[in-house]
């Protein structure tokens, strides 16, 4: 192990330089215009895996973007860890809010990252995080210290709902057989209080359309006498959450996991300083479901957010139009034991129910994902906790995150294995936002923690 950590220490700068190569590729999966860049990114991932001495490197075709696969078999007596990551990234818009172009990485210090952070789209989500595994594998293999069998898959469609991953995993269950799945695509509570993510929320994402008149109308001639679809959509959105912050959709909370007062008290030991939270995002007040803390609102409670809205004239100057249609993208975060199918259906029914009779409504489901929980008594959790405690020199706590990684539930269903969510980002890293970044400290701590996890896990599984 000492040799491995030494190898890491000696090659730190090169690891960052190589990561920059990955970050320069605009692998935006939400926009078909970047198809070529996704292929280029997959090829570069494969290249880095070969350089790391991982074997059987393959670029596997799917109906969408390819999946990069590689493995290294040591012995049938050792457990097998399947590493998962994704090389696709979120769209970078609004571009004008980036300090520098999103695909030209650079390093700069921040308040939370006094050692410097790498700024670029995908730096934290997820290129910078899966690349820690590639480099940790390189360090273990080059120093002859890989204590488990390992398989790695890197997909290119995570940001658009991993449409093709499920089918591909089903077709390759033998190839992907493993004891656990290791994923770094989450964040820790803070650099002072490292955590292992033990829960993730699920997702239901829909697009809605409200149609009023069958064509755009002049607001002077028709205004005040016809249903304006923007007004109607605004009223409907306003009606989805009541003044107590509860979601009004019929039956929305039916299957929500009830968490005991004790468990909630334990969870709230991770104390959010409301001032720090508010200041970090420039707010003078938070809001949300009554009766819950900010920490609970973003982890154990389901939520509903409008992620986009558009309709009518949005260009320069003024246009006096009543548009025919208005649109919104709406997503709901789910908790155990809600399912995306259930919630999408309940949303659709309710949205149709509250629509006035003089407009037409269309609800199109985008993608969904199941919520996920990793109990803290499992070997997987304990191996990760201890690895990070060694690397950070601090106690590591379990943490429920508000984000969604729908594939964890899929892996459990198809491969029968639990996922360990050992991510190293910070909440403030601006993933999915302009000026996304990833701390150098976090990048290096991740690379150190991974070999320690492999070592712990190999021992426990003996």
Residues 64 to 103 in contact with its own copies, rule: CB under 8 A: 90-91, 93-94, 97
Taking each helix axis from N to C end, the angle separating 35-51 and 127-142, rounded to the nearest 10 degrees, works out to 20
Least distance CB 52 / its own copies (angstroms): 30
Alpha-carbon distance 83 to 130, whole Å? 8
418's enclosing H/E stretch is strand 418-421
Provide the phi-psi class of 312: left if phi over 0, else alpha when psi is between -120 and 50, else beta: left
| Per-position x/- string for 381-410, each x denoting binding to its own copies as judged by CB under 8 A, each - no binding | --------------------xxxx------
Exactly one of 85, 105, 212, 340 binds its own copies (CB under 8 A); that residue is 212
Alpha-carbon distance 196 to 181, whole Å? 14
Exactly one of 177, 329, 349, 461 binds its own copies (CB under 8 A); that residue is 329
Contact set for its own copies, span 11-40 (CB under 8 A): 29-32
Exactly one of 237, 259, 355, 363 binds its own copies (CB under 8 A); that residue is 237
| Per-position x/- string for 293-312, each x denoting binding to its own copies as judged by CB under 8 A, each - no binding | -x--xx--xxxxxxxxxxxx
- Residues 160, 367 contacting (CB under 8 angstroms): yes
Q: Please enumerate in sequence order all residues whose Cβ is within 8 A of that of 424, keeping only pairs 6 or more positions apart, or say none.
A: 129, 132, 184, 187, 188, 442, 443, 445, 446, 449
Q: Which stretch binds its own copies (CB under 8 A): 39-47, 168-176, 277-285, 338-346?
A: 277-285
273 binds its own copies (CB under 8 A): no
215 binds its own copies (CB under 8 A): yes
Contact set for its own copies, span 92-151 (CB under 8 A): 93-94, 97
Least distance CB 168 / its own copies (angstroms): 20
Exactly one of 162, 195, 228, 408 binds its own copies (CB under 8 A); that residue is 228
Least distance CB 187 / its own copies (angstroms): 8
CB atoms within 10 A of CB 277: 16
Q: Closest by alpha carbon to 230, among 305, 322, 357?
A: 322
DSSP reduced 3-state for 350: helix
Q: Which stretch binds its own copies (CB under 8 A): 110-118, 126-134, 313-321, 386-394?
A: 313-321
Beta strands in 9-135 (DSSP E): 55-60, 67-72, 80-86, 106-108, 117-119
Q: Which stretch binds its own copies (CB under 8 A): 13-21, 176-184, 201-209, 381-389?
A: 201-209
276 binds its own copies (CB under 8 A): no
DSSP reduced 3-state for 315: coil
């Amino acid at each position: 192990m000492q040799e491995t950590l030494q190898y890491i220490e000696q090659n730190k700068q090169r690891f960052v330089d190589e990561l920059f190569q990955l970050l320069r590729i605009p692998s935006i999966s939400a926009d078909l215009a970047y198809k070529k860049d996704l292929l280029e990114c997959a090829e570069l991932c494969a290249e880095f895996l070969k350089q790391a001495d991982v074997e059987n490197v393959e670029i596997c075709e799917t109906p969408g973007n390819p999946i990069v696969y590689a493995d290294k078999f040591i012995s049938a007596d050792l457990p097998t860890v399947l590493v998962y990551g994704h090389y696709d990234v979120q769209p970078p818009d609004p571009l004008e809010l980036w300090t520098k172009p999103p695909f030209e990485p650079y390093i700069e210090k921040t308040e939370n990252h006094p050692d410097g952070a790498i700024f670029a789209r995908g730096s934290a989500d997820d290129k910078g995080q899966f690349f820690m595994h590639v480099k940790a594998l390189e360090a273990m293999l080059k120093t002859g210290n890989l204590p488990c069998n390992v398989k790695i898959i890197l997909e290119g469609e995570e940001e658009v709902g991993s449409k093709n991953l499920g089918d591909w995993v089903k077709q390759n269950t033998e190839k992907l057989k493993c004891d656990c799945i290791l994923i770094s695509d989450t964040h820790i509570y803070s650099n002072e209080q490292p955590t292992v993510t033990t829960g993730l929320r699920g997702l239901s994402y829909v697009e809605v359309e409200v149609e009023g008149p069958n064509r755009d109308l002049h607001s002077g001639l028709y205004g005040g006498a016809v249903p304006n679809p923007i007004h109607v959509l605004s009223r409907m959105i306003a009606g989805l959450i009541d003044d107590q912050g509860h979601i009004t959709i019929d039956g929305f909370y039916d299957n929500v996991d009830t968490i005991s007062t004790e468990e909630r008290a334990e969870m709230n030991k991770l104390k959010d300083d409301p001032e720090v939270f508010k200041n970090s995002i420039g707010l003078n007040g938070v809001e949300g479901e009554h009766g819950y803390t900010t920490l609970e609102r973003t982890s154990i409670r389901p939520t509903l957010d409008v992620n986009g809205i558009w309709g009518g004239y949005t260009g320069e100057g003024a246009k006096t139009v009543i548009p025919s249609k208005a649109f919104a993208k709406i997503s709901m975060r789910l908790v155990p034991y809600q399912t995306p199918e259930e919630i999408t259906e309940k949303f659709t029914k309710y949205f149709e129910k509250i629509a006035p009779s003089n407009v037409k409504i269309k609800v199109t489901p985008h993608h969904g994902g199941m919520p996920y929980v990793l109990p803290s008594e499992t070997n997987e959790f304990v191996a990760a906790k201890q690895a990070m405690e060694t690397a950070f020199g601090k106690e590591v706590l379990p943490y429920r995150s508000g984000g969604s990684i729908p594939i964890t539930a899929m892996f459990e269903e198809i491969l029968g294995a639990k996922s360990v969510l050992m991510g190293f980002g910070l909440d403030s890293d601006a993933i999915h936002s302009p000026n996304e970044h990833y701390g150098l400290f976090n990048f290096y701590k991740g690379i150190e923690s991974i070999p320690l996890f492999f070592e712990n896990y190999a021992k426990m599984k003996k």
